[in-house]
């Protein structure tokens, strides 16, 4: 995607601007590149006196160690996919229903309710964590994947805003024509409005996927059983409790022995988010340009 500014820059300024942007990209991508490099290194290269990004003798041993010796990693990934997939589905459905109601239906207190929903953005998540803990305990939803799905699905402020803006920027003519032909509100919503708002739904899905997949604080608070942890919690626990048998023939044992395997685990944890963005970025940009950013 090319950078477009609302004013023209002289050639020297353009070069300087692109240099600054390239530097910022390098700073952001350096940890990821470093993790990729470390995941393909053996113990000798990992702990050489002068560190380097270049891998002289690439090996898949770290990935083998992660998949065989870090036994709970597949379980953590499965839990993350279940929780994230369930939350994304529920958020997409509920935010579309609420967004359509706020955009198209007239009812008393509509604008006030929408304003109050937006004000909830200013409430920090950690501020209500204790109340959420008590509520989840009372409802017997702690230590439950279903409980996590329902809890993450309650974060609807941004999704409702996105879907409302998307529906507001859709032409009303098709919906009015359908009503003239006898369609009710539900038929108009499901068969006309939802298909036209697909790009907004993709924006909601991506935002929700990234938020739920990478959550740490809420999951750590609501789950006590290791078998129910998601990958964000599992990465920390696996990295701090991983075994050292793989490097038993090396003098580099101890807390740094699984450094390369930890790097491989970090990459596996972020891979679904990267893939989601790569395959859906065109829809994401389309959703932003078609309605979400048109306030």
- 193 Cβ partners below 8 Å, 6+ apart? 100, 104, 167, 170, 175
Task: Tell which residue, 150, 160, 153, has the closest CA to residue 115.
Answer: 160
Task: Tell which residue, 227, 225, 218, 237, has the closest CA to residue 148.
Answer: 218
pLDDT (tens digit, 0 to 9) for every residue of the chain, 295 residues total? 455 555 565 677 778 888 899 999 989 889 889 888 888 888 778 777 777 888 888 888 888 887 777 778 888 999 999 999 999 999 999 999 999 999 988 888 899 999 999 888 888 777 788 888 999 999 999 999 999 999 999 889 999 999 998 898 888 888 888 888 888 888 888 888 888 888 889 999 999 999 999 999 899 999 988 889 999 888 877 765 544 444 444 444 444 456 788 888 888 899 999 898 888 888 777 776 765 555 5
Looking at domain 62-295, which CATH architecture does it have? Orthogonal Bundle (1.10)
pLDDT at 246: 42
CB 131 within 8 A of CB 222: no
As a whole-number percent, the residues of the chain with pLDDT over 90 amount to: 28
Count other Cβ atoms within 10 Å, centred on residue 255. 10
Domain ranges of the chain: 62-295
* Measured CA distances, 178 to 168, 170, 185 (Å): 17, 14, 10
pTM of the full structure: 0.82
Q: Rounded distance, CA 91 to CA 271, Å?
A: 22
CB 28 within 8 A of CB 227: no
CB 70 within 8 A of CB 246: no
Residue/partner pairs of 186-191 with CB below 8 Å, 24 or more apart: 189/97, 189/100
Q: Which runs of consecutive H residues, i.e. helices, occur in 40-172?
A: 43-46, 61-69, 73-104, 110-119, 129-138, 145-153, 157-168
Q: Rounded distance, CA 159 to CA 137, Å?
A: 27
* Measured CA distances, 172 to 151, 159, 226, 291 (Å): 34, 21, 51, 14
């Amino acid at each position: 995607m090319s950078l477009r500014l609302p004013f023209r820059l002289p050639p020297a300024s353009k070069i300087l601007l692109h240099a600054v942007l390239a530097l910022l990209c390098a700073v952001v991508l350096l940890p990821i590149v470093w993790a990729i490099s470390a995941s393909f290194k053996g113990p000798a290269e990992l702990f050489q006196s002068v560190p380097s990004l270049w891998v002289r003798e690439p090996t898949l041993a770290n990935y083998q160690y992660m998949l065989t010796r870090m036994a709970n990693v597949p379980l953590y990934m499965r839990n993350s996919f279940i929780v994230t997939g369930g939350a994304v589905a529920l958020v997409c459905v509920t935010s579309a229903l609420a967004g359509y109601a706020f955009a198209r239906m007239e009812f008393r207190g509509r604008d006030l309710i929408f304003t109050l929903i937006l004000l909830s953005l200013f409430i920090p998540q950690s501020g209500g964590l204790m109340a959420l803990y008590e509520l989840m305990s009372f409802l017997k939803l702690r230590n439950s994947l279903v409980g996590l799905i329902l809890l993450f699905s309650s974060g609807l402020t941004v999704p409702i805003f996105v879907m409302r803006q998307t529906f507001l920027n859709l032409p009303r003519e098709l919906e009015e024509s359908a009503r003239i032909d006898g369609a009710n509100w539900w038929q108009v919503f499901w068969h006309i409005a939802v298909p036209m708002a697909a790009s907004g739904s993709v924006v909601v899905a991506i935002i929700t996927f990234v938020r739920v997949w990478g959550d740490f604080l809420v999951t750590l608070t609501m789950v006590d059983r290791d078998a129910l942890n998601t990958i964000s919690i599992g990465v920390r626990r696996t990295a701090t409790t991983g075994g050292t048998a793989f490097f038993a023939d090396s003098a580099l044992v101890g807390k740094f022995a699984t450094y390369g395997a930890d790097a491989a685990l970090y990459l596996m944890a972020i891979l679904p988010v990267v893939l989601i963005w790569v395959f859906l970025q065109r829809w994401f940009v389309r959703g932003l340009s078609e309605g979400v950013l048109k306030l």
